Amino acid sequence: MNAAKYERWFTNQLLPNLKPNSVIVLDNASYHSAQEELLPRKGWRKANIQAWLTKKKIPYGHDMIIAELLKLVDPLRPMYSQKRVDKLAKNAGHEAWGQTKGDVAANNSTFKLQDVKGLFEEALEKVTPTNWKNYENHVKKIEQEMWEKEDLVDHIHETFQPIVISPYEDETDSEDDDDDEDFDQSEET
């Protein structure tokens, strides 16, 4: 699986079949986390970092080294680190934790715990009762499915005994086979 294939399935198969305001829960697989935009990092050439900063209208000194340029990028990361699937879901009318998380990330400029807490509380106020009810119902549904799967696994373990096949020939079996052959030969004579 890669991001392009996943996003095609996400857009063409999953999103059209979801009820409005569905909650989408994703793990951290790399193809779930493809960024909308690549952000400069240590491995980038200086010219590419400068081009990115210029595109974002961020002033920098031409004599700055890569480490200094990256320090200019760091506070901007939350604003530009949107995941592509989050954007696809939002464009289709689905928002979840990303609604709150994205709001905090977009408005966080100090990275101080107290400020983040305030931004989080403001973002939560934007979540409607309908959003919360949908999140809650979705979690309950997932929990019920997990309980049903656990019951099924328990039932299988209780019902079926394991079958063990040894890759080694048992000596008693081969001796019994020899005895059977001897017995058959003696009957013929």
SS3 34: coil
Whole-number pLDDT of residue 42 = 92
DSSP state of 35: B
Going from N- to C-terminal start, the domains of the chain cover 3-128, 129-189
Whole-number pLDDT of residue 113 = 84
Whole-number pLDDT of residue 53 = 93
Nearest to 90 by CA among 164, 11, 148: 11
Q: Mind listing the pLDDT tens digit of every residue in the chain (189 residues)?
A: 888 888 898 889 988 888 876 767 676 677 777 887 889 999 999 999 999 999 989 899 999 999 999 999 988 887 777 778 877 887 777 755 666 777 777 788 888 888 888 887 888 777 777 877 877 787 788 788 888 878 877 777 777 777 778 787 765 554 455 555 544 554 454
Burial class of 37 by CB neighbour count within 10 A (0 to 12, 13 to 18, 19+): exposed
What per-residue string of b and e applies to 134-161 under the rule 16 or more CB within 10 Å gives b? bbeebeeeeeeeeeeeeeeeeeeeeeee
